[in-house]
Structure 1
């Protein structure tokens, strides 16, 4: 929304490019690793890091698959961004209105990450050359990542 409360037009959105989004992803990945690795090592031991199995058990599925899904979608729903995106002053918006995406769009976007990764990460790399800086996950969910414009707060003037 603009400062007047009107939705953005597509031409007023300032899209976040490939490298800042890579940086945000690295931040998010590190945070998730700090949260998930300790309980996984406590439950499965250090051999967890050497395992070639996709799923080692219920705890593995909950900690590695369900928890990240809930945490990421919750951040998107409440803040329109993950901590990594917040660190680079970016947020996810609906591509058509510039407003807050729906929960359905967030879920589609999350699932779209897996689709974007399958063909050698091509769907993620797409951000680098797309006009709106959309990866395939963004295109599927009809979202874009925009730069958060700082709110200007004017200080009261003193009357002398």
Structure 2
């Protein structure tokens, strides 16, 4: 025999579950509507590959001249320098890029490559600027993404929010502004009335 009050509790729990489900659905709709209003979408895999290539080339333009100035062209011969050429190698190849990237993220939420594709890094829950701790965690998360044959980076291509493992660890997403650039023309001078010759 059912104890008094048991059925109402069950109904209450069921209703509470339905309400929570509706709230989750409403929050998802609000997030999608907010992103549509701002002309934002999650930046996909290939466009982020383009951004990464731009950043890589720019970093090489900074690091290679320094490494050549310190170690000479022998730096590119692994039989002479080994895996790590020296303290300057660690500083230039690992520490300096980390500092540069995290500073860019912290100041403008993007590296030059992401700026070129109108993308920026935001907090996955609020859409606001992530904290410095999130940025540091995101950078360290790159190593987690790269080590297993780059699976954490390839994950961007199949994830619903286009998050790599480093994004998931840091609680961030990369969004792209898809708003079309308005056409503007320079103001022309005063028009002259046609004259009869």
Q: Give the TM-score normalised by the residue count of structure 1.
A: 0.85
Structure 2 residue 120 is matched with structure 1 residue 91: yes
Following superposition of structure 1 onto structure 2, how do residues 35-54 of structure 1 map, counting pairs within 5 Å? 35-51=62-78, 53-54=82-83
Following superposition of structure 1 onto structure 2, how do residues 26-37 of structure 1 map, counting pairs within 5 Å? 26-37=53-64
Other structure's SS at 1:98 match: coil
Match of 1:60 among 65, 86, 89: 89
Deviation at 1:47, TM superposition (A): 1.4
For structure 1, which segment, 85-94 or 142-151, has the greater mean C-alpha deviation from structure 2 after superposition? 142-151
Deviation at 1:61, TM superposition (A): 1.1
Q: Distance in 2 between matches of 1:123 and 1:152?
A: 33
Structure with the larger RCO, 1 or 2 (CA within 8 Å, 6+ apart):
1
Q: Distance in 2 between matches of 1:46 and 1:124?
A: 32
Higher helix share: 2
Q: Distance in 2 between matches of 1:92 and 1:103?
A: 12
Deviation at 1:107, TM superposition (A): 0.3
Deviation at 1:54, TM superposition (A): 2.9
Deviations 1:41-97 (A, max 9, x none): 111111111226332111111111110010000000001000000000000000000
Q: Distance in 2 between matches of 1:70 and 1:150?
A: 31
Q: Which runs of 4+ in 1 moved over 3 A?
A: 149-153
The answer for unaligned runs of 5 or more in structure 2 is: 1-29, 183-197
Deviations 1:134-157 (A, max 9, x none): 00000000000001355999xxxx
Deviation at 1:24, TM superposition (A): 0.1
Partner of 1:101: 130
Q: Distance in 1 between matches of 2:159 and 2:108?
A: 25
Match of 2:48 among 13, 21, 44: 21
Higher CA-based Rg:
2
Match of 2:154 among 122, 125, 129: 125
Q: Distance in 2 between matches of 1:71 and 1:90?
A: 18
Change (3 A) 1:51 1:10: farther
Structure 2 residue 174 is matched with structure 1 residue 145: yes
